[in-house]
Amino acid sequence: MTLRNRVTPLGELVAAPARGLVYGNRGCLHDASGRIVRGHAVRRWIACRLAFRGWQRGPLMQPGKFTELFFLDDATALAAGHRPCALCRREDYDALPDGAMLLLGGEPWLVHRDRLLRWTPAGYAGRQPRPGGRTSELLTPPSLVALLATGWRGVVPLVHPSAG
């Protein structure tokens, strides 16, 4: 039986026999019988390597476990709203350009030069070094992160003066 766990660039889940080059998840989307019952269960949509450290997950769509999703390639995963995994794709995950926002410890932080700046309604308050091995959730959509990485008219985007 072909499972409905192939993701299109539009983020739709379709049934297709090919797995593609990238895999990821959006949480547990299936019921005990393996039938997809929702489009996502978490905000952290990730894209992983098919092979990492020899880990084997076992049968697909185990009850109560995350739903394994497959993408043709990275371009498809990014278009569908999935970011690189912080574990198996650490180098890709760490390459956040200035202007990207992430969620760290339940609070939004701006990536700015060599540090993170904690966002508040009045401006940026706290400062700390970039994540470097800590788990965080990317808030800026991957497509906009790619735009920031190419440069915004040759400079970083307009940032509040409190960023320093």
Q: Please list the rounded mean pLDDT of every run of 10 residues in the chain (164 residues).
A: 84 85 88 87 83 83 87 80 82 77 85 87 85 71 76 63 83
Domain boundaries, the chain: 1-87, 96-154
**What pLDDT sits at residue 147?**
74
* Residues in CB range of 45: below 8 A, 6 or more apart: 24, 25, 26, 80, 81, 82, 83
**What pLDDT sits at residue 101?**
84
**What pLDDT sits at residue 135?**
67
The pLDDT tens digits of the residues spanning 71-117 come to 888 878 877 888 888 788 877 776 878 888 888 888 888 888 888 98
**What pLDDT sits at residue 133?**
60
Longest Cα–Cα distance of the chain, Å, equals: 57
Verdict on whether the full-model pTM lies above 0.85: no
